[in-house]
Amino acid sequence: MATPSRKTDVFQAIADPTRRQLLSMLGEREMPVTVISGHFPMSRTAVSKHLRILADAGLVKERKIGRETRYRLEPEPLLELKRWLAYYERYWDNKLLALQRFVEGDETDGTIALVAPEEESTRTID
Amino acid sequence: MATPSRKTDVFQAIADPTRRQLLSMLGEREMPVTVISGHFPMSRTAVSKHLRILADAGLVKERKIGRETRYRLEPEPLLELKRWLAYYERYWDNKLLALQRFVEGDETDGTIALVAPEEESTRTID
DNA sequence: ATTATATGAAACCAAAAGGTTTCATGTCAA
DNA sequence: TTGACATGAAACCTTTTGGTTTCATATAAT
């Protein structure tokens, strides 16, 4: 499905530098928790909790082998990030931006016509 | 410069849904705080603090006009995100991934050869 | 000159985040 | 079957985060 409605937000999941390191590490090879945590200056339990958050966001998958649990990268949820970012690419290569700024002029009106596709658009203008 | 060494991490800045909404809103037009906060179910001061965080990350720029301060999107720092994400694109369209997984086999060795370009690579394997 | 508007700073607070240590459980090895 | 290893869950603690209300200051308008 396109919107898998994950337990943890991808943006939130990648906000932590430790978790980003975990992702890059697990992209290379599947690894068990003890080995992974050997690369971090914190307890195994702490790393384990980070892994859980990543798993909740769908960014890693676990596989039990005997008494160990191996984790590996699952890049698919990063597509959401990619889509989000794609919206802003128009600000780099699109000439429309300059035009828009010009048209805007100087008025202080707060009305919004275009809004970027934001996942949680709970409250709008009332 | 390539590494502007900002006060706030971009990943951290965009982790909050409110701040993401702010970015999309400010991409359309420059706006003063009062107008912006009218679109959110929180106090003006709270919105102001979010704007400060975005500004610290370089994602918005402020411009004082008389007694009001207008904010607008500054998309440049998103390039860091784009670069980060680019690393993981190999997991989508690269056949090497399947090959790599195959070569890995089943060993439990924790040694890492390749590491993704992570900004804070403070501690390594000691 | 006085009042209203726009904003940021400060002090404060509750909840979430990121750690720790300890404990329980399941699996492997002798 | 006994002991060592791998791991997650639980309880706990401190710092950060996201919000509030109140106050101070600068500019605009009357």
**Do A124 and B73 make contact, defined as CB atoms within 8 angstroms?**
no
Q: Is A104 on the interface with B (CB under 8 A)?
A: yes
Chain B's closest residue to A101, CA to CA, is B29
Q: For residue B91, which residues of chain A lie inside 8 Å, CB to CB?
A: 27, 73, 75
Burial B23-41 (b: 16+ CB within 10 A, else e): bbbbbbbbbbbebbbebbe
* CB atoms closer than 10 angstroms to residue B106: 7
Q: Is B63 on the interface with A (CB under 8 A)?
A: no
- The yes-or-no verdict on residue A102 having pLDDT over 80 is no
The closest of A61, A95, A82, A108 to B30, measured between CA atoms, is: A108
Q: How confident is the model at residue B65 (pLDDT cuts 50, 70, 90)?
A: very high
| CA dihedral sign of residues A61, A65, A69, A73 | negative
Residue A113 CA distance to nucleotide C21 C1' (Å): 54
Burial B51-86 (b: 16+ CB within 10 A, else e): bebbbebbbbebeeeeeeebbbbbbebbebbbebbe
Q: How confident is the model at residue B79 (pLDDT cuts 50, 70, 90)?
A: very high
Chain B's closest residue to A40, CA to CA, is B123
Q: How far apart are CA A45 and CA A33, in angstroms?
A: 9
Q: How confident is the model at residue A85 (pLDDT cuts 50, 70, 90)?
A: very high
Give the model's pLDDT for residue B97: 61
Longest CA–CA separation in chain B, Å: 66
The answer to whether A68 CB sits below 7 Å from nucleic acid chain D is: yes
- The yes-or-no verdict on residue B126 having pLDDT over 60 is no
**Mean pLDDT value of segment B90-94:** 76
CA distance B7 to chain A (A): 15
**Do B91 and A73 make contact, defined as CB atoms within 8 angstroms?**
yes
The answer to whether B18 CB sits below 7 Å from nucleic acid chain D is: yes
Per-residue pLDDT tens for B5-57? 678 899 999 999 999 999 999 998 999 999 999 999 999 999 999 999 999 99
Q: Which of B9, B59, B85 to mutate to test the interface with A (most CBs of A within 10 A)?
A: B85
Give the model's pLDDT for residue B92: 78
Q: What is the CATH number of domain A10-73?
A: 1.10.10.10
Proportion of chain A above pLDDT 70, given as a percent: 69
The closest of B48, B73, B49, B43 to B61, measured between CA atoms, is: B73
The answer for residues whose C-beta is within 8 angstroms of residue B51's C-beta and 6 or more apart is: B22, B33, B36, B60, B62, B71
Per-residue pLDDT tens for A26-73? 998 999 999 999 999 999 999 999 999 999 999 999 999 999 999 999
Cα A58 from chain centroid? 10
The closest of B62, B60, B56 to B32, measured between CA atoms, is: B62
Where exactly are the structural domains of chain A?
10-73
* Pairing relationship of beta strands B31-32 and B60-65 according to DSSP bridges: unpaired
DSSP codes joined into one string, B85-103? HHHHTHHHH-THHHHHHHH
Q: Which amino acid is it at A69?
A: T
Most confidently predicted of A12-21, A98-107, B87-96: A12-21
Give the model's pLDDT for residue A30: 96
Higher pLDDT, B93 or A17: A17
Of the partner residues A17, A31, A75, the one whose CB lies closest to the CB of residue B88: A75
Q: How far apart are CA B44 and CA B35, in angstroms?
A: 9
CA distance A72 to chain B (A): 10
Q: Which of A57-71, B1-15, B55-69, B93-107 has the lowest mean pLDDT?
A: B93-107
Higher pLDDT, A1 or A123: A1
Q: For residue A27, which residues of chain B lie inside 8 Å, CB to CB?
A: 88, 91, 116
Angle at B54 between CA A91 and CA B46, to 5 degrees: 130
